[in-house]
Structure 1
Amino acid sequence: MVADGLFELHGDEPRLIGTRCAACGTVYFPQAPSCRNPDCREKTVERAVLPTRGVLVSYTVQRYQPPALFRIDDWQPYAIGLVDLGDGLEVMGLLSGFALDGIAIGTRVRLVAESLYADAERGPVLTYKFAREIDA
């Protein structure tokens, strides 16, 4: 995985891991050590498995290659989207399977896990992404 604690796999299905305030219900991603809601008097948070489907509310296309710290094998321009997962939570993530000129606000998306790059010692390093939801 690209970073510990961001997501986990249940079989082939990824699940984002966040936190939820035990008192006010505010949800955070990535995980937060305590509640940051200024109206909440309690600060205790609990681990929360987040929804795997949402709606694309914004996006941008990155046409420059990021510095080496942000490693991507076979780099090419890519899109990053802001996805509404419900409960007032919006999560940013790479978009997968979209033509860069065919992305539309309001598109229903689902969480997927894909290789970001291959590491000589660890093998494929996975990250979470959002792909277009396929109608059932």
Structure 2
Amino acid sequence: MARRTTQKGGETLGPSQRQLRVAEEVRHALAAVFAREEFRDPDLHDLHVTVTEVRASPDLKHMTAFVSGLGRDLTKEQFAGLRRVSPFLKRQVAQAVRLKYAPDLHFQPDTALDYAMKIDAVLKRPEVQRDLGPKPTREED
């Protein structure tokens, strides 16, 4: 997520409440547009996209949308198509979310599910299960 730094001690904090709220509103607006599937771009024909997360820059002028295809990964051509239709998506988001500036939209593949599946596979390995299993208790007299 976007990070901001405090003036005291330089400790790093997460995004502000406003960033989180606006990013979630943008996610809902994008999801609604993708649900309508009204793209003229041939690379986006029959594209089923899930917007899993949106991260906002501190000034709310840039939004990074993490997207994944339903049941399959998006291709490079589909990401290129998303970049081509981003002005249309920007207008749709501007109509749905009232902001001073319409944010520029950037698209990234969502790899969280792949990462979770990889971690799950590692945790199921026998040598890891052995280490994670219940520890023997020592009986005391």
TM-score (normalizing by structure 2)? 0.28
Larger Rg: 2
TM-score (normalizing by structure 1)? 0.29
